[in-house]
Structure 1
Amino acid sequence: MTSPTEWNTAPDPTASPVSVLDRIIAILEAVRESDGPATITDIAARVGLPKSTTSRLVADLADQRYLARVGGGAGVELGLRLFELGARASRPRRLLAAAAPVIRRLREATGERVGLWVQQGTDMVSIAALPGRLPMLPTSAGMHSPALTTASGKAYLAFCADQRVVDRVTASLVDDDARHFRDELAQVRSSTLATDLEVSYPGILAVASPVFGSGRSVVGAISIAGPSGGMDPDRIAPIVRAAGTSVSRRVAAA
């Protein structure tokens, strides 16, 4: 299994950026390509903008920590916030690399659809999927499924330390439904297993286990999905739990 390909396209150096986003990206690229701290004059010349416009945008970027002032404020370099965002963007790639052999073994052992998921907003997003015996189940990376109902979503939410994420996902639940969901998450925490029986897809049973990173912080979930009438959850459960444990160990060691 290979990681998703990334495409990098360079901006046309002869064209002046028009939109605010274009201008910001051009400024960041100019700073990145500069040998040492970049001055306002250098940046304005590189991106083809007036110095007054460049100065204002650079100040805004510095306030938001995308740029950092150096040399007594005479120049700027890339700020820490970009490195923070870059570190977060690399997590799915590290997770995929660590999980790839486990996913293959799980598919070979069960013959069912295997998925690797990360949380995004109120959804779980597939970063890897291997097909099983049910052709109607999507297997493309990038597929979104609701975290509220899916096994992978419940496996993630049960261990999510950010209550704001849980609150957003469960915002539509009221009274008995909310209490039932909290009880279900408590059961997931106890067993490190979550199930979805014909809620997300009719006739489909899914079983998922959380994947943890360093410090036991949850970073995703691994799942198996197959026909509800032909997949034994008692047999599948320990296999999925063992796969989640194996991926977690590999992520922590990476």
Structure 2
Amino acid sequence: MGSLAEWNTFPARTGGPVSVLDRIVAILDAVKASEGSLSVTDLAQQTGLPKSTVSRLVAELAAQRYLERTQEGVTLGMRLFELGARASLPRRLIGAAAPVIRQLREMTGERVGLWVHQGTDMVSVAAVAGRLPMLPTRAGMRTPALTTASGKAYLAFCSDPGVVDRVSASLADADADHFRDELLHVRSAVVATDMEDSYPGILAVASPVLSGDRVVVGAISVAGPSGGMDPDRIAPLVRAAGTNVTRRLTAAA
């Protein structure tokens, strides 16, 4: 470990954040502006705070899930979402998707969910129950992007290869290659399937949702019993739902 002088490399700038709350807000704002992960060193540079102060506050914020640690540094954590501090895009996404979700539930009778990406997971922002009571519908539920239909639908259209690399980092080389091949197929079909990979007895089908500038912002999915739901029948319905949410989101922009 370096000396204290090395640890506090970056002196506070004149007029920088003074109170604890100001410092926390400065750190959260810097992470948000990065649209990815930031290291403690980068945060110290961008906020003008001592590195030791940033490290301590980041540890406390991560422990409370306001920040989330990654291999590259830290990103915004899910507690901000869970406490209702939602960005405008998720709110607009939910508004655009609400009637589509209801219609898809009426057409399929199964659980319909709307998901956004966070770290290596997909996070539920809206859902309606289907005929399987064991499938939760609460907002804030996390599922692995690596195996779920919603995760694969999102990743297949994600333009950042680093995101795919992080999600598939646990896979052996051959499995990682197979996963990327599967994402190519999903991108071609505009629909992804999870046949009991995430949960025994559960089949899920998902399609991406894009913004007006064709950036993937989430995924819509249908999940039900693997023995009682036909993926070939469900797939075009989910694909059409994803397209419909995309159009409604674009029109609302």
Settle same-fold status: TM greater than 0.5.
yes
- Using the size of structure 1 for normalisation, the TM-score is 0.68
For residue 23 of structure 2, what is the aligned residue in structure 1? 24
Kindly provide the CA deviation profile for residues 189-229 of structure 1, in whole angstroms up to 9, marking residues without a partner as x. 10000000001110000000000002211000000000000
Q: Which amino acid aligns with 2:126?
A: A
Q: Distance in 2 between matches of 1:177 and 1:170?
A: 9
Based on CA coordinates, which of the two structures has the bigger radius of gyration? Answer: 1
- Structure 2 SS opposite 1:214: coil
Q: Which amino acid aligns with 2:185?
A: Q
* TM superposition outliers: structure 1 runs of 4+ over 6 Å: none
> 1:24 deviation in Å?
3.1
Q: Distance in 1 between matches of 2:147 and 2:19?
A: 39
In structure 1, list runs of 5 or more residues that go unmatched.
Answer: 1-18, 28-58, 62-87
Q: Aligned pair in 2 of structure 1 residues 225, 26: CA closer, same or farther (>3 Å)?
A: closer
Are 2:199 and 1:201 equivalent residues in the alignment?
yes
Q: Distance in 1 between matches of 2:223 and 2:166?
A: 26
> 1:26 deviation in Å?
8.4
For residue 221 of structure 2, what is the aligned residue in structure 1? 223
Q: Distance in 2 between matches of 1:159 and 1:110?
A: 25
Q: Distance in 2 between matches of 1:253 and 1:115?
A: 21
Q: Aligned pair in 2 of structure 1 residues 251, 136: CA closer, same or farther (>3 Å)?
A: same
- Structure 1 SS opposite 2:193: strand
Are 2:192 and 1:191 equivalent residues in the alignment?
no
- Paired residues for 1:15-94 under 5 Å: 21-24=20-23, 60=48, 89-94=87-92
Q: Distance in 2 between matches of 1:213 and 1:23?
A: 33
Q: Which amino acid aligns with 2:48?
A: D
Q: Which amino acid aligns with 1:182?
A: R
Q: Which amino acid aligns with 1:131?
A: A
Q: Aligned pair in 2 of structure 1 residues 168, 25: CA closer, same or farther (>3 Å)?
A: closer
Please point out which of 129, 132, 135 is paired with 1:134: 132
Q: Percent identity?
A: 74
- Structure 2 SS opposite 1:115: strand
Please point out which of 168, 171, 177 is paired with 1:170: 168
- Paired residues for 1:100-179 under 5 Å: 100-179=98-177
In structure 2, list runs of 5 or more residues that go unmatched.
Answer: 1-17, 27-46, 50-85
Please point out which of 218, 225, 245 is paired with 2:243: 245
> 1:241 deviation in Å?
0.4
Q: Distance in 2 between matches of 1:26 and 1:157?
A: 30
Q: Aligned pair in 2 of structure 1 residues 251, 60: CA closer, same or farther (>3 Å)?
A: same
Kindly provide the CA deviation profile for residues 169-208 of structure 1, in whole angstroms up to 9, marking residues without a partner as x. 0111122211110110010010000000001110000000
Q: Distance in 1 between matches of 2:208 and 2:20?
A: 37
> 1:25 deviation in Å?
5.9
Q: Distance in 1 between matches of 2:163 and 2:146?
A: 11
> 1:89 deviation in Å?
1.8
Q: Distance in 2 between matches of 1:121 and 1:20?
A: 30
Aligned residues: 181
Q: Distance in 2 between matches of 1:187 and 1:204?
A: 21
- Using the size of structure 2 for normalisation, the TM-score is 0.68
Q: Aligned pair in 2 of structure 1 residues 195, 20: CA closer, same or farther (>3 Å)?
A: farther
Q: Aligned pair in 2 of structure 1 residues 22, 187: CA closer, same or farther (>3 Å)?
A: same
